């Protein structure tokens, strides 16, 4: 059983708005069973790396699988949170952190998920299809894109005058930024208590 906080690595590819939600939640004390000890990106110009620096979080680039695995081991990482990470993790990393990797997806899975459904594309598809309700899902990561067990979901209403950008923003504010910190704390707590 661990008496220390669970060590969290957050993976990002872009602006880092979900990372910001996690950093704010940690600062507020909403994430108390874990600590963000590493922020990693596949994109050297990701603005999320700047956000991480402002909170004095260690950052690294994901250059190759083996180097990244060694970095995770060196930092004693207990769990991984995908926060707008656009690359598919390798089966090796998924196996190493089985049931310890979570992702937030900007729709109510199984709608608008899988290959090619990321970022603004998800909201474009939702509006094209004409759904009246969308939302976000936090799920465990397995080898099927967006196919892992669902942890939590939250619905968000689609408004008649929505554009992909306005819908994206509302889904973030009303669903993603609420679900992801809570799921992160819950998993960190389970790991800390030896339940996961």
Query: Helix %, strand %, coil % for the chain, to 5?
Result: 40, 20, 40
Q: Are 24 and 180 in contact (CB under 8 A)?
A: no
* 123 is known as an active-site residue: no
Candidates 105, 121, 123, 139; catalytic one: 105
CA distance 122 to 171: 11
For residue 128, give the 3-state DSSP assignment: helix
CA distance 31 to 183: 9
Pairing mode, strands 101-105 and 133-140: antiparallel
Return the sign of the alpha-carbon dihedral for residues 26, 133, 87, 166. negative
Catalytic residues: 105
């Amino acid at each position: 059983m661990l008496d220390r906080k669970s060590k969290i690595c957050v993976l990002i590819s872009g602006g880092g708005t979900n990372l910001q939600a996690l950093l704010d939640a940690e600062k507020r004390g909403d994430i108390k069973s874990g600590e963000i000890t590493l922020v990693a990106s596949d994109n050297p110009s990701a603005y999320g790396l700047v956000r991480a620096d402002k909170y004095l979080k260690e950052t690294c680039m994901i250059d190759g699988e083996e180097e990244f695995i060694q970095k995770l081991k060196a930092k004693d990482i207990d769990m991984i949170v995908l926060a707008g990470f656009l690359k598919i993790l390798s089966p090796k990393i998924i196996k190493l952190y089985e049931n310890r990797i979570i992702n937030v997806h900007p729709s109510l899975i199984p709608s608008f998920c899988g290959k090619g459904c990321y970022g603004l594309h998800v909201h474009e598809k939702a509006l094209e299809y004409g759904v009246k309700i969308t939302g976000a899902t936090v799920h465990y990561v397995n080898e099927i894109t967006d196919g892992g067990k669902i942890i939590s979901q939250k619905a968000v209403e689609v408004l008649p005058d929505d554009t992909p950008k306005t819908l994206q923003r509302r889904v973030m504010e009303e669903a993603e930024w609420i679900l992801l910190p809570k799921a992160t704390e819950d998993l960190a707590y389970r790991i800390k208590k030896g339940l996961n």
